[in-house]
Amino acid sequence: MKIDSTTSTVGNVHSATRTSSSSVTRPAADTTTDVHLSELAAQLQYSGEAPAFDATRVADIKQAIAEGRFTINTEAIADRLIASASELVSSQRQS
């Protein structure tokens, strides 16, 4: 495969897409925008649940992988995947 000399074109395109801050139109400070969330989005945003990310758990798994002690339970993964797919299909039917 031959590489042609198109790199200068890419550089020109990149520099042409830059805009100065003076050319950007910004809304006036007193303008307001109404945003309406769907019911599902509101539920997800205000679910009250703890964050799904557990830094301690991630560090423990990382250490187990580094030490070669981490095992994968393929049956549990398969069961959860099937349950998730079933739940998705049933929610699609109800909609």
User: Is residue 63 assigned to a domain?
Assistant: yes
d(CA 87, CA 80): 10
Q: Is the pLDDT of residue 14 over 50?
A: no
The structural domain count of the chain equals 1
Give residue-wise pLDDT tens across range 37-68.
777 777 777 666 666 788 999 999 999 999 99
Confidence of residue 15 (pLDDT cuts 50, 70, 90): very low
User: Is residue 9 assigned to a domain?
Assistant: no
What range does the domain containing 87 cover? 55-95
Tell me the three state secondary structure of residue 66: helix
pTM of the model: 0.36
Length of the chain equals 95
Read off the tokens for 17.
């897409």
More confident residue, 16 or 42: 42
70 close to 64: Cβ distance less than 8 angstroms: yes
